Amino acid sequence: MKFVGSPEGIALLDLVWHASLPVQLVMLGLLFASVISWTMIFRKWFAFRTAIREAERFEQKFWSGANLNQMYAELTRADASSAGMTNVFVEGLREFKRLGSQSNIEPMDILAGAQRAMRAALSREIDYLETHLSFLATVGSTSPYVGLFGTVWGIMNSFRALGLAQQATIADVAPGIAEALVATAIGLFAAIPAVIAYNRYANTVERLTTRYEIFMEEFASILQRQAFAARA
C-alpha cells in the first residue's frame, strides 16, 4: 500500500516502522485496544442474541399455560443451566417454595421473600449483561485523544525538521505529518466501532432489563395469588 502522490512511494508499513518511538507506541496501543474491543463486540453480540432468544423461548412457554411446578422441576435438574429470565423465575419460585413450606409465615412475607430473591437474580443478570461495556466506553472516549497525542508529536517532528532544514521543502515535513495523520486515523478506527457498539449494547441492556422487570412483576402477582390461596 502506497500513498497517492508521494514521490518516494512510501509504503504504509515503512512509514509506521520509521515513525518516532512515541508515535509507534501510540499506534501499537491503539491497535491493541482495537483488537480487544472488536473481540468484546463479537462476544457481546453473541451473548445478547442468546439472551434475547432465551427470553422469547421462556416467555412463550411460560404464558402458554405450562405447569409452573413442572417447569421448575425441569429447569432445576442437575444438567440444566438457567440464565436470564429463566434464572429470575427459578430463584423466585425456589424462595417461594422454601418460605411457603413454613406455616408460621404470612403470605405477604412469602411474597416479599420471593421478590427479594428475584431482584437479586435480576441484579446478577444485569451485571453479566453489562460486562465489558465499560471497556468499550473507555476505548470509544479515549482513543481519539490518544491518537491526537500521536498527531501532535508527529507535527512537532515536522516543525523540528523544518527548522533544521536550510531550504524548506515538502520532503522535510511530509514524514512527520504523514505519521501524525496515521495516528489520528488509527485512533478513529479504534474509537468509532467501540462507540457504536457501546450505544447499541447499552440500549439492548436497558430493553432486556425492562423485559425482566415486567416479567418479575407479573410473576409476583401470580405468586401472590398462590400464597393467599394456599393459606386460605
How do residues 129-178 score in pLDDT, each as one tens digit? 998 899 999 999 999 888 888 878 777 767 776 666 556 566 666 666 77
Q: Is the pLDDT of residue 120 over 50?
A: yes
Q: What residues pair up with 2 in beta bridges, in sequence order?
A: 11
* Contact present, 159 and 174 (Cβ < 8 Å): no
Q: What is the pLDDT of residue 164?
A: 61
Phi, psi of 230 (to 5 degrees): -65, -40
195: closest CA among 43, 34, 50?
Answer: 34
Q: Is the pLDDT of residue 204 over 90?
A: yes
Q: What is the pLDDT of residue 209?
A: 93
Q: Is the pLDDT of residue 72 over 70?
A: yes
pLDDT digits (tens, 9 = 90+) for 79-102: 556 778 899 999 999 999 888 887
In a domain, residue 5? The reply is no
161's enclosing H/E stretch is helix 133-164
pLDDT digits (tens, 9 = 90+) for 174-193: 666 777 778 888 889 899 99
Q: Count the domains in the chain.
A: 1
In a domain, residue 20? The reply is no
Q: How far apart are CA 202 and CA 130, in angstroms?
A: 8
Q: What is the pLDDT of residue 3?
A: 43
pTM beyond cutoff 0.75: yes
Q: What is the pLDDT of residue 8?
A: 43
- Tell me the mean pLDDT in the region 189-217: 94
- Tell me the mean pLDDT in the region 195-222: 93
Name the residue with higher pLDDT: 7 or 62: 62
Q: What is the pLDDT of residue 22?
A: 77
Q: How far apart are CA 114 and CA 64, in angstroms?
A: 22
In a domain, residue 178? The reply is yes
In a domain, residue 210? The reply is yes
Coil, strand, or helix at residue 44? helix
In a domain, residue 207? The reply is yes
Report residue 128 as a C-alpha cell: 453479566
pLDDT digits (tens, 9 = 90+) for 15-60: 666 667 777 788 888 889 999 999 999 999 999 999 999 999 999 9
Q: What is the pLDDT of residue 44?
A: 94
pLDDT band, very low/low/confident/very high, at 5 (cuts 50, 70, 90): very low
Segments forming the whole domain that contains residue 30 = 25-231
In a domain, residue 61? The reply is yes
- Tell me the mean pLDDT in the region 105-117: 89
Coil, strand, or helix at residue 11? strand
In a domain, residue 151? The reply is yes
Alpha helix stretches (DSSP H) within the chain:
12-17, 21-62, 68-75, 85-100, 107-129, 133-164, 170-231
In a domain, residue 1? The reply is no
